[in-house]
Amino acid sequence: MAGQTRLSRYLVVVFLTVVPLTMVAPLLGAALPLAAAGQPTLDDQVRAIASRLRCPVCQNESVADSPSELAVQMRALIRTRLQSGEAPDAIVAYFVSRYGEWILLDPPRRGVGWLLWTAPGVALLLGLLVTVAFVRHAVRRGDGEVRQ
């Protein structure tokens, strides 16, 4: 009996939360311009490529974000190349051939770059190993004390 009343109370709570949530969700849907999520427009494609490139004349800004003249020109160039049907990777390769790999904000995963991409993972793995060892040790020590 008690279990059943608890269950029904639970269902009331869930119901009372679900109804407002389903009312909020369409609002959220309106807040996020979801239509844009379907097909990427030309603007989106230009932005995607430009945000992988460093603006050569700025202090640490991407071509997508920089208001500088050179960045504006580079964005226009990306646009015309995309319109003429060139693949995004080919466009990026073109900029690399002109400015060097330095222009990539996303450094290549080889050579020295390989170290960069793996080091964080190694750090995480080491941390996990140490933690597991520590937890097992600390728990076992506790068990030992209890038994004594």
Residue 1 or 23: the one with the smaller Cβ distance to another protein is 23
Residue 107 contacts by C-beta under 8 Å, 6 or more apart in sequence? 101, 113, 116, 117
Residue 7 Cβ vs another protein, minimum distance, rounded to whole Å: 11
Q: Kindly give the residue spans of alpha helices, DSSP state H, lying in the chain.
A: 2-31, 42-50, 69-83, 88-99, 112-147
Cβ closer to another protein: 43 or 73? 43
In the chain the first and final C-alpha atoms are separated, in Å, by 44
In the Cβ-directed half-sphere of 118, how many Cα atoms lie within 13 Å? Answer: 7
Q: In terms of Cα–Cα distance, which of 99, 98, 120 is closest to 109?
A: 120
Please state the closest distance from residue 97 (CB atom) to another protein, in A. Answer: 15
Instruction: Provide the binding-site residues for another protein, judged by CB under 8 A.
Output: 10, 13-14, 17-18, 21-22, 25-37, 43-44, 47, 51-52, 54, 59-62, 65-67, 100-107, 111-113, 116-117, 119-120, 123-124, 127-128, 130-131, 134-136, 138-139, 141-142, 145
**Closest distance between another protein and the C-beta of residue 107, in Å?**
5
Is the CB of 1 or the CB of 32 nearer to another protein?
Answer: 32
Q: Which residue number, 72 or 87, has a Cβ lying nearer to another protein?
A: 72
Minimal distance in Å, beta carbon 3 to another protein? 12
Task: Enumerate residues 6+ apart whose C-beta is below 8 A from 75.
Answer: 46, 50, 63, 64
